[in-house]
Amino acid sequence: MSNKLKFQSNQILKLNNQIYFPYLIHNLPKKYETFPINSIIKINTIIYINSNNFNKKYQTNYIQTLNYSNINSNNIK
């Protein structure tokens, strides 16, 4: 089986039919340490967290608001 990284236009990562949300190191969600290690990917300075770790409402909101200029304002509070 071949693993292929696929970036969507808003920098959401899709790998093996799983969606990963991008975060900067200083802007990780508060529950970051409770997520399974195999659901986190680090590429350069961006950390990708599997969307299955978040509820559906958060996923929808994150996808709708994500772009390069506001990645810093997308925190779980």
Predicted confidence pLDDT, tens digits, the chain (77 residues): 556 666 655 678 888 888 899 988 888 888 889 999 999 999 888 899 999 999 999 888 887 777 544 555 544 44
Q: In total, how many domains does the chain have?
A: 1
Q: Please tell me the distance from the alpha carbon of residue 2 to that of residue 28, in angstroms, as a whole number.
A: 29
In a domain, residue 47? The reply is yes
Whether 7 and 13 have beta carbons less than 8 Å apart is answered as yes
User: Does residue 18 lie within any of the structural domains?
Assistant: yes
Cα distances from 55 to residues 9, 58, 62, in angstroms, run 23, 5, 11
Residue span of the structural domain in which 22 resides: 6-73
pTM, to two decimals: 0.73
In-domain check, residue 1 = no
Output the DSSP codes for 6-33.
EE-TTS-EEETTEEEEEEEGGG--TTGG
Asked if the structure places residue 50 within a domain, the reply is yes
